[in-house]
Amino acid sequence: MTSPVIVTLRCGQCGRETPHELHYAGRLLALTECGVCGFTIRHSGSDMKSSYVADLGQRLATKPRRMLRRFARHPLRFASGLPASVLAKPRGIIDEWQTVFRRGR
């Protein structure tokens, strides 16, 4: 499961402004959960899977261009951060797959 983003939103069930956990799979929002009443909203399983696969494909296709742009902006920062990014990326993708495919079973 990916690390959640925690942010204050108004809960549709308890009606209060409460901390919510937001879980993402790549660029897509997969699940939100109210930290007080537990009210959860999920992106529907089959739609989420197809959306995620399409989004992942688009991210992979544009990755070289995005890396090139970051390199052009900050060559040193890009080079120094590259090893850590390369090592972390597979774990990140596995987490995303778990978020999308495990919960859909």
**Separation CA 43–CA 32 (nearest Å):** 9
Span near another protein by CB under 8 A; candidates 21-29, 83-91, 93-101 = 21-29
What element of type H or E holds 36?
none
User: Do 41 and 31 contact (CB within 8 A), yes or no?
Assistant: yes
CA 3 to chain CA centroid, nearest Å: 8
Bridge partner residues of 22 (DSSP): 5, 32
Is 66 one of the binding residues for another protein (CB under 8 A)?
yes
Is 23 one of the binding residues for another protein (CB under 8 A)?
no
Span near another protein by CB under 8 A; candidates 13-21, 86-94, 96-104 = 13-21
Residues that bind another protein (CB under 8 A): 5-12, 17-20, 22, 24, 26-29, 32, 34, 41, 43, 51, 58, 62, 66, 69-70, 73-74
